[in-house]
Amino acid sequence: MKTIEEIHKIREEKRKELDLRVNIKNNTIEKHILVCHGTGCTSSKSSEILESFKRILKEKDIQNVKVIKTGCFGLCAKGPVVIIRPEDVFYANCKPEDCEEIIQTHIIEGKIVKRLLVKDIDGTKVHKLDDLSFYKKQKRIALKNCGIINPENIDEYIAFNGYEALERVLREYTKEEVIDIIKRSGLRGRGGAGFPTGLKWELTKNADSEQKYVVCNADEGDPGAFMDRSILEGDPHSIIEAMAIAGYAISANKGYIYVRAEYPIAVQRLKVAIKQAQEYGILGKNIFETNFCFDIEIRLGAGAFVCGEETALLESIEGKRGQPRVKPPYPAQNGLWNKPTLINNVETFANIAQIILKGADWFSAIGTDNSKGTKVFALGGNVNNTGLVEVPMGTTLREIVYDIGGGITNGREFKAAQTGGPSGGCIPKEHLDIPIDYESLKSIGSMMGSGGLIVMDDTKCMVCLAKFYLEFTVSESCGKCTPCRIGTKRMLELLEKLCSGEGSELDVYKLEKLAVDIKKSSICGLGQSAPNPVISALKYFREEFRQHAIEKECKALECKALSKIMINPEKCKGCGLCQRHCPVNAIDGQGREPRVINQKKCVKCGTCLTNCPFHAIGNDLGTEQKSS
């Protein structure tokens, strides 16, 4: 256990040592090699890169260089990522065999390894991380420490003002003052619905009970979402500190982190962080030499999407089947083991310490009138710079897709973006300039959700997309209520008919009516929001549903039963790329003559479509192609 004085000393001494990680003007001869060790880069051998650096430095007896394992830097499309501080040089797509060259050229000779520099949106190679377009419009609060500190070293967290907010709260503020700060900040829940965080804390505090609980919802289940996982992997202590602050504010002495077992790196780092906090006396009894006692346990989820719903999550923690409870009563009055329970998700908690340290006014000055602060998004799909981004509320979708994301892959056209995963809706091209905040998204039939943002180009079929999300919802329904259990299944069957060419205009009508009825009558948020992707797709892309139902045609070429892929001879340059990539040799032609697709051989895989640099392949070409 550490005394307050010892923790202050650690902060002061470690802060000096780590200054070069944030101060690129630092003149020290020491260097830190930061290696991303998030899930994405780890799957691409970043562990081997880390060990290779350590081995080479030891062999060459280089003393003034440290190799640091960090969390996610955000730019996942360029991983594995290596950053060298204080120079702030960003090396992309690194491999274990590159380590020798980086050490020799950069560390020993003081020269940049140009071939490993990351390319910006315009194709130019960028030396420094802060010069990348990907980062210029971002503002990191929840991701403040990710990619900067070693998440398994509590001293590094302490050096960057870690646990300073908790100490201030316990020694200077009353419970009411803490809640007032959170309320005035305007922070809203980042798990999807956007309920005011301070109000939730206040309701739980005012509930009459000797025993209360704090729960962190880390059951991130949306397809394509990895925000919470990355925060837990890169900065687990920020969640522990925030939960302890919340525990003090509502008079709780016990916390639970409910996290998916399929997040092994996040789980491991949470275990390490909790153990370290307990050893330092930051968790346990008489924290910071006060009478406040608080401890945290981890509960592993088995991957049921419905357990992301707060009451189903509570059932699972209690050892029961994960099914939602009827509300009211709400968890703030009757939650875990029938006791008042505060539930926030990972990203919500990740903002708390910064709000306490910098003040409610600082946080509320960021964002829009009704959506304060920043939002973390997992940016994926048909966009060049996939990864983790954090932007001020009110940033437009266009800025995220083009200025941060680097535009659409292969130079294709933007068609839509899906926010909120299976619970959200699509944003069409005409709303590219919409500000990303709670009210704006709701006004066009979408929602913020937890932060998944999937970008789609003009080769995507919106009927097929709606079918994908319904398949997910059907498989994840807990089955408790009939509208969700049976209704979503009927919706999926109608979508399958449309995609197979067996649907009719009547099926489109049935689909829309079912969606409205299920939304009104389901018990929990999963069932109530399950029809959203269908409703928004029908609102903005009804013509595609009509084409599937009446013309029996899928112009995006995703529904194979309705597709006929052709090459436009006027656009074809005879480059032969489509021919070389076709897996079934269904493309005929030679030399510089236009290629022709043999419809009898074609399996409609779309490989030729994605490999044609001239956009000469499609379904609606306006030109008759001669069949071979």
Tens-digit pLDDT profile for residues 561-574: 888 888 999 999 99
Q: Taking 90 as the threshold, does the pLDDT of residue 396 lie above it?
A: yes
- With a CB cutoff of 8 Å and minimum separation 6, the contacts of 248 are 166, 169, 170, 175, 178, 292, 294
Q: What is the pLDDT of residue 524?
A: 87
State the Cα–Cα distance between residues 502 and 487, nearest whole angstrom: 20
* Identity of the residue numbered 601: K
* Edge-first strand listing for the sheet containing 341-345: 295-301, 254-260, 213-218, 341-345
Coil, strand or helix: which one is 503? Answer: coil
286: left (phi over 0), alpha (psi -120 to 50) or beta: left
Q: What is the pLDDT of residue 451?
A: 83
State the Cα–Cα distance between residues 501 and 503, nearest whole angstrom: 6
* pLDDT digit string, tens, across residues 284-314: 999 999 999 999 999 999 888 899 999 999 9
Q: Which residue has the tokens 């029809």?
A: 531
What 8-state DSSP symbol labels residue 292? -
* pLDDT digit string, tens, across residues 187-236: 999 987 789 999 999 999 999 999 999 999 999 888 888 999 999 999 99
| Residue 294, number of CB atoms within 10 A of its CB | 23
**459 alpha carbon, distance to own chain's centre:** 24
Q: Tokens representing 321?
A: 């089947």
Burial of residue 458, with CB atoms counted within 10 A of its CB: 0-12 exposed, 13-18 middle, 19 or more buried: middle
**Mean pLDDT of the 610-617 span:** 89
Burial of residue 501, with CB atoms counted within 10 A of its CB: 0-12 exposed, 13-18 middle, 19 or more buried: middle
Q: Is the dihedral of CA 60, 66, 71, 75 positive or negative?
A: negative
State the Cα–Cα distance between residues 271 and 263, nearest whole angstrom: 12
DSSP 372-428: BSEEEEEEEESBSS-EEEEEETT-BHHIIIIIIS-SBGGG--EEEEEESGGGSEEEE
Q: What is the pLDDT of residue 606?
A: 82
Q: Tokens representing 197?
A: 């965080």
State the Cα–Cα distance between residues 111 and 108, nearest whole angstrom: 8
Which ranges constitute the DSSP H helices of 477-624?
Answer: 482, 488-500, 505-521, 525-529, 532-546, 577-581, 607-611
**Mean pLDDT of the 79-104 span:** 96
Q: Are 251 and 294 within 8 A, CB to CB?
A: no
Q: Taking 70 as the threshold, does the pLDDT of residue 41 lie above it?
A: yes
State the Cα–Cα distance between residues 594 and 588, nearest whole angstrom: 9
The pTM assigned to this predicted structure is: 0.91
Q: Which of 52-61, 66-75, 381-390, 617-626 has the lowest mean pLDDT?
A: 617-626
- With a CB cutoff of 8 Å and minimum separation 6, the contacts of 450 are 190, 191, 192, 220, 222, 225, 227, 228, 308, 345, 347, 420, 421
**Mean pLDDT of the 168-187 span:** 97
DSSP 201-226: HHHHHHS--S--EEEEEE---STT--
Q: Quick one: pLDDT band at residue 625, thresholds 50, 70, 90?
A: very low
Degrees, nearest 5: CA angle 305-539-440: 70
**492 alpha carbon, distance to own chain's centre:** 26
Which ranges constitute the DSSP H helices of 251-351?
Answer: 264-279, 310-317, 346-350
* pLDDT digit string, tens, across residues 229-255: 999 999 999 999 999 999 999 999 999
Q: What percent of the chain has pLDDT over 90?
A: 81
**23 alpha carbon, distance to own chain's centre:** 28
* pLDDT digit string, tens, across residues 454-465: 999 998 999 999
Torsion angle, alpha carbons of 614, 619, 621, 625, to 10: 100
First to last CA, the chain: 79
State the Cα–Cα distance between residues 393 and 399, nearest whole angstrom: 12
Q: What is the pLDDT of residue 448?
A: 85
**Mean pLDDT of the 387-398 span:** 96
Alpha carbon separation from 296 to 243, 516, 543 (Å, rounded): 8, 41, 52
Q: Tokens representing 119?
A: 């390319």
What 8-state DSSP symbol labels residue 338? G
Q: Taking 90 as the threshold, does the pLDDT of residue 555 lie above it?
A: no
**Mean pLDDT of the 56-67 span:** 95
State the Cα–Cα distance between residues 560 and 554, nearest whole angstrom: 8
